Amino acid sequence: MCLRICCPIRRLVYKAVCTAMVMAFGMIASAQTEVPFFMEIDTAYNGVYVGQEYNLKYRCTVRFDSVSPPDFGNLIEVIKGPVPNRHLSTIIVNGKKKQRMEEVFSYQVRFLREGVISLPIASVKAEGRVYITPPLYVRVKPAVRNIQGVVCSVTTQRSYIEEGETFFVTLTCNRRPDNLAPLLELGDSIYKPSGSSSRFSYTKGSGKDTSAFVNAKESYEFHYNIRSDGSGVYTFSAKNLTFGGIPYSLDNQVIKVTETRHSSPGGNNEVVIVLVIGCMLIFGFMWLRFHREADEELASFVLREGRLNLSTDWALTHYGFPLFLVSIPFFFLLSNLYKYFTEGRQDLFFPWFWCGLLPAFLAFAVYRNQRSKLNFRPVKISFSDEVMLEVVEETARENNWTIDHAGRDCVVAHTHSHWLSATWGEQIFVVFDRGQVWINSVNDLNKRSTAFSFGYTKRNMNKLQEAIERREKQVRK
C-alpha cells in the first residue's frame, strides 16, 4: 500500500520540479530578451556568395559598459570595422508603436569559403549583466565564375549642364559586384559612390516547384557626384569592379553633355522673359479673381458678404506681401519650366526647388491674416443714420481724418501718415444697416503695400466704436 502511494507522489514531485525548471528557464529567457543583443547581415535577395562584401551589424538596445568583440577566425575576412553608430528604431509592442535607441557597431566582411558558416558571436556588459548574441548561420554559395551575362553601364539623367555644376552619374549592374563601393575614374580624378540602391523582381514557379524563381531580374545602382568642366564628352572607367573575383572591363564609357548657357550679343534674356511671363500670369489671375468685385457697390457687397470688396489694384496692394512670398517658388518653377521647354532639361524638380516650400507656407499664413482684415465689425445703434453720420464727422475732426465719401449708405475716410508712422496711412469704412452699422479699417489701399498695420487699423475702429457708445449714452439720457 505504501509503495502504491509513494510512486504517484514521486511522479508528482518530479513533474513539479520539471515544471519549476521550465518556468525558471522561461523567465531567464524572457528576461534575456527584454534587452536584446543580436546580429544582422544584409544578405542579398539571391543569397550569399564567396568573395562578395556584406555588412554585418551587432545591435543592442541599451548602452553597454564594455564589449567582447567577435572572433572572425579564418573563414571570414574583415574589410572594415568596427564602426560604432546609434540608431533610433521603431518596433510594435502589443499593437502599439514604440521607439527605442539601439547601439550598433558594424563590420564590412567577406566570406572566404562556401558552406554553412556560423557568424561569430559577441557579448556586451550592461549594468552588471552580460548579453550574448544568439547564434546565426549563413549558407554561403560558391563564387560565380561565369560572368558572361554580367552587364554594367554608366548613365546620367542630365544631357545639359553648366560649367562648374555638379551632375549625377549612375553605374548600373545586373548582378551584385564583389565590392560595395566600386570606383569611377574620370581622367585623373577618382570618385567614390555617394549612395547605392538595389532592385530585385521575380515570378514564382508553378506546380510543385512554387518556391523556385522564374524570370528573376537584379539591378544594383551606384550613384556618383561629378563636377563638370562644361560641355563635351566625358569618358569613364571603373576600378575594383569584380564579380566572383573576376574583373569586369568597363572602359571608355562615354557620356555626352551640352552647355546650357546660350549667350547672345544682347545678353541673356531668360530672366526678362520669365519675369514678364510671371508678372502677366499673376496680374491675370488677380484680375480674374477681383475685377467683378470692383463693379459692385461697396454697401451692398459688405451687407451681403461681410467683408470689403477689392478691385484688382486694391487686391495687389492688400495682398502685396503674400504675393511677393509666393512669387519666390513660382518664378523658380517658371524658370525651370522655361529651361525644360527651351533646353530640354530633365531635372525639373531638382532639390533646390523644395526650398520654396517655406516661403509658400509663409505666404499662405500671411494671406489668411490679410484676408481676415477685410471683415467688418457690426456695432448696434439706436439712433438714425443722420445722427450716425454726425458721429463719424465728429470723430474725423477729432482725429484729423479726411472724409472721401459721405452718403446715405456708407462713409469712407482716410488718415494722414507722418514721418513717425509705421504705415502709409489707413482707410476707414462705415456701412449703414438697419439697427446697426458695419465698420472696418485697413491700410490705405490707394498707396503702397504694407505687410502689417501695427495696430493702427484696430485703433481707428475702436475710436469710432467708442464715439458710437458715447452717443448711445447721450441718446438714452
Residue 167 belongs to domain with CATH number: 2.60.40
Domain presence at residue 7? no
Q: Same domain for 276 and 334?
A: yes
| Least confident stretch, 30-44, 286-300, 351-365 | 30-44
Q: What is the mean pLDDT of residues 424-431?
A: 88
pLDDT of 29:
38
| Least confident stretch, 45-49, 212-216, 315-319 | 212-216
Q: What is the mean pLDDT of residues 175-203?
A: 83
Confidence grade of residue 441 (pLDDT, cut at 50, 70, 90): very high
Last residue of a domain, one of 141, 173, 192: 141
pLDDT of 93:
63
pLDDT of 215:
63
Q: Same domain for 129 and 71?
A: yes
More confident position, 372 or 159: 372
Q: What is the pLDDT of residues 193-243, one digit of tens each?
A: 888 887 777 655 555 554 455 566 778 889 898 877 766 788 888 888 888
Domain presence at residue 469? yes
Beta strand pairing call for 66-68 and 436-443: unpaired
Last residue of a domain, one of 371, 396, 411: 371
Q: Same domain for 221 and 167?
A: yes
Cα→Cα distances 88→85, 196, 385, Å: 10, 22, 69
More confident position, 46 or 468: 468
Q: Same domain for 320 and 397?
A: no
pLDDT of 7:
44
pLDDT of 347:
54
pLDDT above 80: residue 171:
yes
The fraction of the chain above a pLDDT of 90, given in percent, is 7
Domain presence at residue 456? yes
Q: Same domain for 109 and 158?
A: no
Domain presence at residue 318? yes
Domain presence at residue 170? yes
Confidence grade of residue 325 (pLDDT, cut at 50, 70, 90): confident
Confidence grade of residue 262 (pLDDT, cut at 50, 70, 90): very low
Domain presence at residue 191? yes
Domain presence at residue 354? yes
pLDDT of 230:
66
Alpha-carbon distance 221 to 200, whole Å? 12
pLDDT above 80: residue 91:
no
pLDDT of 378:
92
pLDDT above 60: residue 355:
yes
Q: Same domain for 357 and 390?
A: no
pLDDT of 92:
65
More confident position, 291 or 392: 392
Q: What is the mean pLDDT of residues 360-368?
A: 87
Range of the domain at 172: 152-259
pLDDT of 440:
92
Confidence grade of residue 324 (pLDDT, cut at 50, 70, 90): confident
Phi and psi at residue 400, in whole multiples of 5°? 60, 45
Q: Same domain for 407 and 467?
A: yes
**Tally of structural domains, the chain:** 4
Q: Same domain for 135 and 232?
A: no
Please, what is the average pLDDT of the chain? Answer: 78
Q: Same domain for 177 and 226?
A: yes
Last residue of a domain, one of 97, 113, 141: 141
Q: Same domain for 382 and 461?
A: yes
Q: What is the mean pLDDT of residues 19-25?
A: 41
Domain presence at residue 200? yes
Query: What CATH code is carried by the domain that includes residue 61?
Result: 2.60.40.740
Q: Same domain for 356 and 411?
A: no
More confident position, 136 or 43: 136
| Least confident stretch, 205-214, 370-379, 400-409 | 205-214
Model-level pTM? 0.44
pLDDT above 60: residue 266:
no
Q: What is the pLDDT of residues 58-73, one digit of tens each?
A: 988 877 888 888 999 8
